[in-house]
Amino acid sequence: MIGREDQLKSLNQNYASSKSNLTILYGRHGTGKTTLIKEFIKDKKSFYYKAVPADDFEQNGMFGRAAGVESDSYYEIMKALRDRGIMLFVVEEFHNIIKMDSNFMSDVSRLVRDESKVMVILSCSSVAWVENSMVKAMGNYAFNINAFMKLKEFSYSDFINRFHNTEPRELLYIYAITGGNPGYVDRWNENISIKENICRLFLTDKGAWYKEALNYVKDEFREISVYNTILSCLAMGKNKLNDIHEYTGYGRDKISVYLKNLIAREIVEKIFSYDVFGNENTRKGLYRIQDSFIEFWYRYIYQDWSRIDVTEPYEFYDSHIEDRLEEFVKNAFIRIAGEMLEILGDMHKLPFEAVRKGSWYGKNGDIHLIFEDKDGNGIIGQVYVDDRKVCMEDFDRLRENVQLAGINGRFYYLFSINGFSDDLKADNIATIGIEEL
């Protein structure tokens, strides 16, 4: 249960409570909901059911057969199990029931309001539905929910605990490609190279990830061709609405709607530059693919998909992926560097306490990480993935951007995958290599 210890502890605390509990557990496919549930219920008397898309009659019949109880009432089925001593009920993908049968939440609510204590976990893989539509679908029965638990991708500190024989540089690449998704991480074979993993997982029609991102987007949306085109644009670096408009010819209003839907599902994010009042050097209105696994797929697989079936995997990797990987891992490296600075801040090991944090997107270059105290003093974090050592010239260019941004940069934390030149030394500079993360 690496990376899910806190969630497991919370579930056990709810189970130990003297009161009934209704918990909503959610997160996209692959984030480990079922693994967490299996670990939680393994030593407890429980009822587990996974709902598939079905009409109300068929769903109720399958639920009853799983419970060994014949009834057209979910409440009566669960009550019969409770009377046999079962106190814990788990229903995965419960939205497949609610969307077809309004009685389900009424029956669950009745069960948790009864005098006898029970714990009910309702699990869902549709993040957008839980956060945007669930309460409306439940109505007043939503007031019976006691806890929400959202499972996200692994932080880097949790991710690296899953690997034992992998070099730091390779860990960065794996984290970027998998997005830290536990389900994807589990499929990665650390005993073979990055190239071999990419070839076997992405670059053959029998590979587990050959169509993975496409299938995920298909599950979420109907007009797949439009979403594919927009995601492809973003993967190519067309990050402004107007860039997408000029490339596709789609109307701006149409693009805005599709971007909003992608944002709701945490596939895309709108990025906001650090708030520096009236700064004309700032780029605005930027979007990017938030899920780095999906970004990888649309950047390297989607755009050259027609060649994959007629090209040997190793040949395709050498010609279409290898030389472009370092730039791809940059965003993941920035997230990791930010996580490290957050940890140092929590340990009170930064020069001062930060009250404002963000990134600055400039017309002449970006500032990856800004941590500012209440007096406006800034800690600057910058990531480098160039195939050479970072030198004083790079630092001078960074300071120019800090000045353009109107930020008072007092201390600098520089992160590099290829080291630093000997001339890069100053009292206010900390240099961190990939092997130190």
E strands present in 46-106: 46-50, 88-92
What CATH fold (topology level) applies to the domain 330-436? Trna Endonuclease; Chain: A, domain 1 (3.40.1350)
Burial category of 43 from C-beta neighbours within 10 Å (exposed 0-12, middle 13-18, buried 19 and up): exposed
Phi then psi dihedrals of residue 46, to 5 deg: -150, 165
Tens digit of pLDDT at every position of the chain (437 positions): 677 899 999 999 999 999 999 999 999 999 999 999 999 999 999 999 999 999 999 999 999 999 999 999 999 999 999 999 999 999 999 999 999 998 999 999 999 999 899 999 999 999 999 999 999 999 999 999 999 999 999 999 999 988 988 999 999 999 999 999 999 999 999 999 999 999 999 999 999 999 999 999 998 888 899 999 999 999 999 999 999 999 999 999 999 999 999 999 999 999 998 877 657 788 889 999 999 999 999 999 998 999 998 999 999 999 999 988 988 999 999 999 999 999 999 999 999 999 999 999 998 899 999 999 999 999 999 999 998 999 999 999 999 999 999 999 999 999 999 999 999 989 999 999 999 98
Give the long-range contacts of residues 185-188, CB within 8 A, separation 24 or more: 185/154, 185/159
d(C-alpha 338, C-alpha 270), whole Å: 18
CATH of region 192-327, choose from 2.60.370.10, 1.20.1250.20, 3.40.50.300, 1.10.10.10? 1.10.10.10
State the SS3 of 35-46.
Answer: HHHHHHHCCCCE
Asked if 339 and 160 touch (Cβ cutoff 8 Å), the reply is no
DSSP for residue 298: I
Domain boundaries, the chain: 5-150, 192-327, 330-436
Put simply, whether the predicted model's pTM sits higher than 0.85 gets the answer yes
> Looking at domain 5-150, which CATH architecture does it have?
3-Layer(aba) Sandwich (3.40)
